[in-house]
Structure 1
Amino acid sequence: MTKSTTEKKEAWNSLGIFFLLLITFSSIAYYAILKLNPTSIYVGLLMMCPALASFLTLKIKGRPISSLPWSLNNLTYLKFSYFTPILYVSIAYILLWIFGFGSFFNAETISEWSAELGIAESNQTLVLFTMVGLLLTVGVIKNLGSTLGEEIGWRGFLIFELRKVMSFKALAIVSGVIWAVWHYPIINLMYSRGDSLLLHISAFTLMIVGMSVVLAYYTFKSNSLWPAAIFHSVHNIYIQKICTPLTISNESTSFWIDEYGFMIPIVTTVFAVYFWVKAGKEGL
């Protein structure tokens, strides 16, 4: 058996252990989310499952946790990973507002932010910029603990193991599909009572696969999991805490808005194609 064949067999073995552990841990977390109250803490537990699965896999395989790509020698990709989600989400929501699938901005959100900040509601501009600034700094840092739990598993462990057995383009898609499917029970919980579950699942999957191409690129170029963790945190905060709350909905909004509508997936697909081509040219 050649060294290459041996390495691939070992990689598949590690991946098998990882998936078995991931399914076990995630099943426990999903049971808690679906059956117990309150659910918010259990969502945090779910987000830690990829990290726990990767840590235990490394322990079983006799590999140190320090073998994960913890270091960050080039801050360039950390900066890119911060601003990239801001860019594609901004494009998506501006298009959404321009085409009338929602409108900017929601005065009720400004009123809530005013009360939270202790700034007079009459000074809407100050309220808006203060809260957005705080969310994109303090909020991103606070959320980093949760996204790090996922990214240790997805980008710190999974894609590096997949890289031993498949090309960059293949692993980017495969890791994206795995990441998306892992979220399906949550999406089912959110939309199972409506008639658009498949629509929202399709939109979310398209978005996640697109993001996975970009995240794989930044991870391999930096040889670090930190850009992915920052990227993921900014993506969550900017959509969930800023752009969606500032949007006034209408009858078309749900089809286009947020992570489960189609505007962000369309834009992330364009970004994914760019990084897909870029990775090929750079020989990743």
Structure 2
Amino acid sequence: MSKSVSEIKEAWNTIILFLILLTALSLVAYYVILKLNPTSIYVGALMISPALAAFITLKIKKRPIASLPWSLKELSYLKRSYFTPILYVSIAYLLIWLLGFGQFINTEQLIEWSNELGIESSNKALVIIVMVFLLLTVGVIKNLGSTLGEEIGWRGFLIFELRKVMPFKALAIVSGLIWAIWHYPIINLMYGRSENLILHMSAFTIMIIGISVILAYYTFKSNSLWPAAVYHSIHNIYIQKICTPLTISNDKTIFWIDEYGFMIPIVTTLFAIYFWRKAEKENL
């Protein structure tokens, strides 16, 4: 059923209000990150700003917070959202290692892990297996609080509002661009003095748009924000705590590794095309 002009206008008003509140809340968090200290507590404050913006928007619009997609009827989507980022990140890093853009395995990281676990560093396989298992279970659960702060806003609220005024393909791209731009100050903090700043921003933006297609698909299919929160947590932990630390860099690595190099964006784009077509076939 097509929406009336008044319904479309109300949806746009809600989206604009959310974005204004998100900008205001994020500016406060970015100020303390950039001017005081980029500590984890301040970064955590930034990561919950999308959720806070969504909650305040709902309050102003006199809509209950319970109206967000909190429930999850099909647990299969949690499993899919868990393994999808593991699959594409594994493919990306295998290509990085095989093509010589980085080398497996970083001995210094192994020693650090062995000291943390209390396992002899000579037993490399056991150190890797135990740490990877713990990071992909305990680490993911610990990180879930932060990613949930984002996903309540992005997938739990924003894409459902965008869906009222645009089709799946458009909302996936628009939400991805908003999500990417929201990260730019952090990227500037990390690479602002580097001549490759634009390259890193471009790679990150391509990756985020690809991920946004996948997350929009899982969110609408499950009608729940939980698959996106789990997916986001796995994505962060697997890249930032496992694959990147285990990689030995060379003069080419910076252009290909992590979320700010081009290998993961290339692979996620291929995955996004698959989910894009899948969404089209299923009339999402």
Q: TM-score, normalised by structure 2?
A: 0.99
Amino acid at match of 2:274: Y
Superposed CA offset, 1:144-193 (max 9, x none): 00000000000000000000000000000000000000000000010011
Partner of 1:63, secondary structure, is coil
In 1, Cα distance between the equivalents of 2:252 and 2:36?
33
1:110 touches 1:121 (CA, 8 Å); kept in 2?
yes
Structure 1's consecutive aligned runs of 4 or more residues displaced over 4 angstroms after TM superposition are none
Q: Partners in 1 of 2:205 and 2:31 — Cα distance?
A: 22
Are the counterparts in 2 of residues 29 and 45 from structure 1 also a CA contact under 8 Å?
A: yes
Structure-to-structure mapping, 1:227-246, within 5 angstroms: 227-246=227-246
* Aligned partner of residue 122 in structure 1, secondary structure: coil
The aligned counterpart of 1:65 is: 65
- The one-character-per-residue Cα deviations of 1:215-245 (angstroms, maximum 9, x if unpaired) are 0000000000000000000000000000000
State the secondary structure of the residue aligned to 2:154.
Answer: helix
Report the 3-state secondary structure (helix = DSSP H, G, I; strand = E; otherwise coil) of the residue aligned with 2:4. helix
2:10 counterpart residue number = 10
Q: Where does residue 161 of structure 1 map in the other structure?
A: 161
**Secondary structure of residue in 2 paired with 1:245:** coil
Asked whether 1:85 is paired with 2:85, we answer: yes
Structure 1: runs of 5+ lacking an equivalent: none
Aligned-partner Cα distance in 1 for 2:51–2:3: 28
Q: Hey, what does 2:103 align to over in structure 1?
A: 103
Name the count of aligned residue pairs: 283
* C-alpha distance in 2 between matches for 1:38 and 1:177: 24
Distance in 1, matches of 2:52 and 2:4, equals 28
Question: Hey, what's the Cα distance between the residues in 2 that align with 1:196 and 1:110?
Answer: 29
Give yes or no for contact 1:32–1:39 (8 Å, CA) kept in 2: no
**Which moved further from structure 2: 194-203 or 5-14?**
5-14
Give the structure 1 partner of residue 269 of structure 2.
269
Give matches, 1:23-38, under 5 Å. 23-37=23-37
Matched to 2:115, the amino acid is: A
State how far apart, in whole Å, the 2-side matches of 1:38 and 1:146 are.
15
- TM-score (normalised: structure 1): 0.99
User: What is residue 215 of structure 2 aligned with on the other side?
Assistant: 215
Letter in 1 for 2:14: S
- Residue 203 of structure 1 is matched in structure 2 by 203
CA distance in structure 2 between the partners assigned to 1:68 and 1:21 by the alignment = 18
What are the ranges of 5 or more consecutive residues in structure 2 without an aligned counterpart?
none
Q: 1:36-185 maps to which residues of 2 (within 5 A)? A: 36-37=36-37, 39-185=39-185
Displacement after TM superposition at 1:4 (Å): 2.0
Deviations 1:48-101 (A, max 9, x none): 000000000000000000000000000111100000000000000000000000
Q: Is the 8 A contact 2:32 2:38 kept in 1?
A: no
What is the rounded CA distance, in whole Å, between the counterparts of 1:168 and 1:131 in structure 2? 38
Q: SS where residue 193 of structure 1 aligns?
A: coil
Which residue type is aligned with residue 192 of structure 1? G
In 2, Cα distance between equivalents of 1:200 and 1:273: 22
Is the Cα contact below 8 Å between 1:88 and 1:267 reproduced in 2?
yes
Residues in 2 aligned to 1:53 and 1:227: alpha-carbon distance in whole angstroms: 21
Corresponding position of 1:21: 21
**Which amino acid in the other structure matches residue 176 of structure 1?**
G
Structure 2 CA distance, aligned partners of 1:229 and 1:38? Answer: 23
Q: Classify 1:159/1:38 alpha carbon distance in 2 versus 1 (closer, same or farther; 3 Å).
A: closer
* 2:257 alignment partner in structure 1: 257
SS at match of 1:84: helix
Which one-letter code corresponds to 2:232 in the other structure? Answer: H
Partners of 2:229 and 2:193 in 1: CA distance: 32
One-letter amino acid of the structure 2 residue matched with residue 107 of structure 1: T
C-alpha distance in structure 1 between counterparts of 2:59 and 2:140, whole Å: 30
The percent identity for this pair of structures is: 75
Shift of 1:123: 1.1
Shift of 1:195: 0.3
The one-letter code matched in structure 1 to 2:207 is: M
Give distance in 2, aligned partners of 1:3 and 1:63. 19
